[in-house]
Amino acid sequence: MKSRDTLFIGFTLFALFFGAGNLIYPVSLGIESGTSYLAAISGFVLTGVGLPIITVAAISLVKNGAIQLAGRVHPLFGLYFTAMVYLVIGPFFAIPRAANVAFETGVVPFLNGSPLTLFIYSIIFFALVFWVSLNPSKLVDRIGQFLTPALFLAILGLVIGSFFLLDGPIQSPGEKYESQPFFTGFIEGYLTMDAIASLAFGIIVVTSFRDRGVTNPKELTIRTLKAGLVTAIGLASVYVAIGWIGAKMATEGNFANGSAILSGAAQLMYGQPGTLLLGVIVALACFTTCVGLTVACGQFFSKRISGLSYNVVITLVTLISLGISNIGLNQIIAYSVPVLVFVYPITIVLVALTFMGGLFNHSRYVYRGAVIFTSFVALYDGLAAFGMDMSGITPWISQLPFFELNLSWIAPAIIGGLLGALLQFIKGQTSASESYQN
């Protein structure tokens, strides 16, 4: 296998990851973090880049992808958790978000952003998504290959322009970033959804290497990490660059979301032509992302639910996505946060256990203990982020280490894993004793 194949697969993985969240969240972080930008973007890159790449590497260590990885807790958990992942990166969050970013960037700067305009736009957008998803072809891949460098050039143009055409001073950090900007950025990195998306995308990368003759498990993991490094460099560069644009735009007014910041930056620096070019490129990039995710959901659920055909699944996916997209980008972001706050800690624990599994022979008891304890605290965090009154539990949860950093699930995960290991040891000793007596 040639080195350029690894490079190509790295570019492919970048294209799979690069979607709406990769554009709107770094620029929002930049405008909010101000003089704390460096610390904030460092935390963001850790979860927005590092964690997805590590997750893809974890997938290379199992044969059947995310279902097997999560299935070490229990086969049904593996199926249901993976299904939840596909719903999160599919019709419930990622697809409607991508459609709205395309709307905010490509339509709102030129037409009014009324609910009626969004409704008409979403019907046309998802009708095209459904039509292309019925017979996905290399055309989408070719468009993606064209759009990736085009989007890079557009972002490069914005970044270069920001140094010369945006002369506003960097502002003081907003309230959210005044204390612990690194850990705030760390949590914000969840919002890209890339770590949970990598549970689905990882098998694509692994399959690509296997098709090229890489069968040795160790070599497969090394190759995956090398391809991941290519992806990581690309994503980190884009995040840092777009975030800097946000930091420079802080004195240019108030913006509803990241899409509005990018459109405003293009308008300020290059006028209507710049806004139009950025809008077209982002809209097409989001469109191909939506097609790819729709196809992925169609293939996953049609293979695992008898009697549910691929065409029926993509019909449901596009209809649900169309409905959710009409609540607006800000609302989609708001209701996605609690779910991601719940899902991400479980994902991190599963990935960590996969790499450490040799220490405890991948015991189900360790997986179950760590995931169950993590889930309780993650559920609390998710419900609190949703706005539910958790005052009856908060005094107890607040005693956990790292509570102020929104990482209170770490200690329970370790305790649950250790209790699982202890239970495995006791059962092993019991089995050995029974065997001896027999």
Number of domains in the chain: 2
Cα angle 186, 169, 239; round to 5: 30
- For the beta carbon of residue 269, count every other beta carbon within 10 angstroms: 18
Shared domain for 305 and 359, answered yes or no, is: no
Cα angle 23, 28, 33; round to 5: 135
Shared domain for 152 and 261, answered yes or no, is: yes
- For the beta carbon of residue 188, count every other beta carbon within 10 angstroms: 24
Tell which of 326, 357, 372 closes a domain. Answer: 326
- In tens, the pLDDT along 240-262 reads 988 998 998 888 888 888 888 98
- In tens, the pLDDT along 171-218 reads 999 888 988 999 999 999 988 888 888 888 887 788 888 888 887 888
The pLDDT value recorded for residue 431 is: 47
Task: Please state, in angstroms and as integers, the Cα–Cα distance from residue 35 to each residue in 173, 310, 392, following that order.
Answer: 6, 49, 37
End-to-end alpha-carbon separation of the chain, Å?
A: 54
Shared domain for 259 and 367, answered yes or no, is: no
The band of 324, judged by pLDDT with boundaries at 50, 70 and 90, is: very high
- 336-346 mean pLDDT: 91
Task: Please state, in angstroms and as integers, the Cα–Cα distance from residue 38 to each residue in 156, 241, 244, 260, following that order.
Answer: 19, 11, 9, 22
Residue 334 lies in a domain: no
Shared domain for 29 and 79, answered yes or no, is: yes
Residues 6+ apart with CB under 8 A from 146: none
The pLDDT value recorded for residue 311 is: 93
Residue 331 lies in a domain: no
* Whole-number Å distance between alpha carbons of 350 and 194: 15
Assigned token pair, 326 = 């009409």
Shared domain for 58 and 144, answered yes or no, is: yes
Shared domain for 359 and 248, answered yes or no, is: no
Q: Is the per-residue pLDDT at 286 higher than 60?
A: yes
- 127-141 mean pLDDT: 78
CATH of the domain at 63: 1.20.1740.10
Shared domain for 290 and 401, answered yes or no, is: no
Residue 333 lies in a domain: no
Shared domain for 157 and 225, answered yes or no, is: yes
Average pLDDT, the chain: 86
Shared domain for 55 and 95, answered yes or no, is: yes
Q: Is the per-residue pLDDT at 438 higher than 80?
A: no
Q: Is the per-residue pLDDT at 39 higher than 50?
A: yes
Q: Is the per-residue pLDDT at 314 higher than 80?
A: yes
The pLDDT value recorded for residue 164 is: 81
Q: Which amino acid, residue 60?
A: S
Please report which helix (H) or strand (E) contains residue 388, including its range. none
Range with lowest mean pLDDT among 74-78, 135-139, 274-278, 380-384? 135-139
Shared domain for 111 and 158, answered yes or no, is: yes
Q: Is the per-residue pLDDT at 69 higher than 90?
A: no
* Whole-number Å distance between alpha carbons of 318 and 34: 38
Domain span at residue 184?
Answer: 3-326
The pLDDT value recorded for residue 17 is: 82
Q: Scan for tokens 């050039």, then name that residue.
A: 153
Q: Is the per-residue pLDDT at 141 higher than 60?
A: no
Shared domain for 343 and 322, answered yes or no, is: no
